[in-house]
Amino acid sequence: MRRITLDIETTSSAGFDMSQMELSVVGFHDSETDTYDAFEVSELHKFWPLIEKTDLIVGFNSNHFDIPILNKYYAGDLTRIRSLDILEKIKESLGRRIKLDSIAKATLGRKKTGHGLDAVKWWEEGEYEKVKQYCIEDVKITKEIYDFALKEGYLQFSDFGEKKKIPLDTSSWESGEASPLTHTIPF
């Protein structure tokens, strides 16, 4: 099963109005090649063939943030590709949302290298490579917590200094047939 784990950054927070947000970078891990990379908007033509051949998109808050913003740049419909949003699975189990940084600290023992608003500032300052590296680091964390949950059946978060487990039923996360081509472009 080919998985693309992804994360995006935007050029501004646009007052947190997603319809006004523009993509700056998409970072990703391709399970087929076990490589990480990041593309700017002008390079998306290199990303689309990868995403079109994936069996599963993995992300953190990806169904409500990353995929809808990416979809603005894509000729087809990325929502037709099977996706697993780790934050959705956490909310289903716990009844609330938890920040990626909290999950990373408690589960992996490491934290994020910045915040999304830092990436906006770096982008505005022309530090494009810094944004790409930050985005790739978030992809690494997302992939690692996905792999951990798949193996262990839970993630952890810190609740007032106490580590707590979030049980997750991962049995269906990678079930189903792999498809050699995902048809997302309308004909």
Using CA atoms, how far residue 139 sits from 64, 100, 116, in Å, is: 16, 11, 13
* pLDDT tens digit sequence for 137-182: 999 999 999 999 999 999 999 888 889 999 999 999 998 665 555 5
Q: pTM of the full predicted structure?
A: 0.91
- Separation between Cα atoms, residue 87 and residue 123, nearest integer Å: 26
122: helix, strand or coil = helix
Residue linked to tokens 């589960």: 107
* pLDDT tens digit sequence for 52-99: 999 999 999 999 999 999 999 999 999 999 999 999 999 999 999 999
Indicate the fold that domain 3-165 takes in CATH: Nucleotidyltransferase; domain 5 (3.30.420)
Domain residue ranges of the chain, discontinuous segments joined by +: 3-165
- Separation between Cα atoms, residue 179 and residue 96, nearest integer Å: 33
